[in-house]
Structure 1
Amino acid sequence: MYKVDLPVDNSADLAVNRRRAAEAARQARIFNTRNRVMGLDLPTLEQQVTERKARDEMARQREMAFDLLRVTQDKVLMHQQRQEEEMRAELNKNLVQYHQIHQRAEDSLDADLTFDQQGAIELFESELGPASMKVFQGEDIGEDERRRSQMEQTERALRAQREERERRLQESQHKELLVGQALVHQDLRSVHLDALEEECKRATRIALNNYNQAQAAERAELKRKERMRKEGEELSEVCHMMTSDILTECPEAAQREAGGQGGPRILTDRWRGMSGVQLNAIYRQREEQRAEKERQREVEKQRDVAWDFKRMLRTRGEEEEEQKRAELQKEKRMQMDQYNEQLAREQRQHQEYLKNQVYTNKPTAHYFTQFNSSSR
């Protein structure tokens, strides 16, 4: 048979390599402590970030489109308003021009009365039609006479109005003259009243000054009499002091019998000091008080010594009790140390038993490598 070069089927190798790559990626995800503990899904997070950016970009483009639409609408609205204003101005201009051309005041029906035949339209009978029945043959024969009488009547009315205005003006001038005269009389009367009031005030001031002078003279006389009375009283007091017991230093003058209880009273304004007997009595009483104070001090000293002795006895007893408690605690601590030492010895024996008898088969490094070697 002939040898033929056939293509090699390597689909099995590709499948094995694909499975190996998937297994490696799976192990990288599973054995990654950060991803396993925190639970991060990077593709999902990146997709969310991309979607968020896309939404923000769409929102920004939408806002830009809205802004552009608002600007366009504002421009269109402003253009429409400007066109409306121009159209309104053009219409007003046309209306004014129409009024000036076709609706003049000179062309109205009463132009002959208002403008005195100035600009009145001259009509002929041949130009009037059936609908223009304004002028008839044979009518208004006395038009000139009637117009002349109207003008005379108007002139008489104007003259009467002018005379009435002049009369009112004269009456107003006469009233103003009367008012001025009344004001002058009133001013003269006010001046006269002011002069009378000033005269009354001057008389009142003179009378008040006289009264004040009389009051001042009376007050000066009263002060003179009061000064003379005080001088007499002071002179009498000086004489009394010179002749009284306060300067003669009479000891009996400082004592007087009291009207009620309490015995004789001392007049402080006349007292000149104590006698020798009184001073000796005070000295004797002070010595007795000093002796009594010394006796009380000695008693207090003895009492303090007794309290100090009692306090010393109590302190000594407390020290003995404290020493007994310390010895008892020391003995308890020694017993506790012995018990703890016995427990430690038993614990060491138990650890040696576990180490030498129970835990004799130690695992090798190969034993730990067989765990977590695959993602399945």
Structure 2
Amino acid sequence: MYKIQFPVDQSIETAVERRQAAEAARKARIFNTRQRVMGLDLDALHKQTLEKKHSKEMEQERDKDFDKLRLKHDQVLLQRDTEERKVREALHTGLTQYWDIQQRVEDSRDADLKCGLRGVFGITIPEAELGPSSMQIFQGEDIGAAQRKREQMKKTARDLLAQRVQQERSCFEDKHRKMLAEKELLQQDHSWRQLHSAEEKGRKAARIALDHYNQALATEQAERLQESRRREERENLAEKWHTLTSSMMTEGWEAAVSQLQKGKPAATNMWKGMSPEQLSAIYRERGAQCMERQRWRDTEKNREAAWNSQLLKVSSDAWQEEKRTAELRRAKRIQADQFNKQLSKEQQAHQQHLDKELYANKPTQEYFCQFNTTSR
């Protein structure tokens, strides 16, 4: 027979390697203390970090673009300002040249007034070609111009001096008028203060007099009221004494006996009391009631004494019983303490037996390291 070699099936080995890799990944996840305790999602955190970094880079790029655009706008504005300044300078230069060429002072109609005789002598036409009508100054004219100017200057100086003197005089008069007005105001103020002080003194004196008069009236009225009150009290006291001592309040039998007639009852409108027989009957009844009340009190005292003696006896018996109960409780507590001591000794002996004899072989580190070695 021929020996045939079949191809080796690699799927089994591949499956084993795949399971081993999955087991290693599982162990790495399970035995990772930080991830197991805190529950961190590393993929999500990494993704968030990348997103944050990308967004930060985008913001930086956007800021750079904005800076470039701002610089470009600034350059455009600066260039525009420079061009406008150049245009304004050119316009100003052209306008100045136009003024210098076309609008000279010497060419104006008032050149002789503004520039003296420069405008007249500045004419370029020859003097021989000018006619008589073109002459402005003739020989021998205005000989006293210098003297006239000096007189005018002196007159102007005199006028100015007179104006200054007049102004100083008016200022002095105004100051004097103001000073007089202030003095008058001060005098009026002083007189008003004196008048006000006099009026205040008069009002004060009137108030003092009125206060004295009111005090006198109040004193007189208080005396009248006090006298009226004393008189009323005397009258009320006399009326009360008459009422208390009258036969109406005493209700005496004599008040009715004097008004009785033969064969007629007593007048009740004159007498409201009782007869001596009625009073004696009332007194006898009150004495009987007092004796009955005394007998009831004596009976209550005897009953109270018997009840107190019974309470003392019951209290004594209860105290004796409580004492016996306390003795029994103390004996039981002593017995329980002895029993607890015996139990404590037994438990200590048992714990020593466990610690020294039964559990003498303590586990080592290798014993604990054999656990949690796989993920299953």
What TM-score results when the alignment is normalised by the length of structure 1?
A: 0.37
What TM-score results when the alignment is normalised by the length of structure 2?
A: 0.37
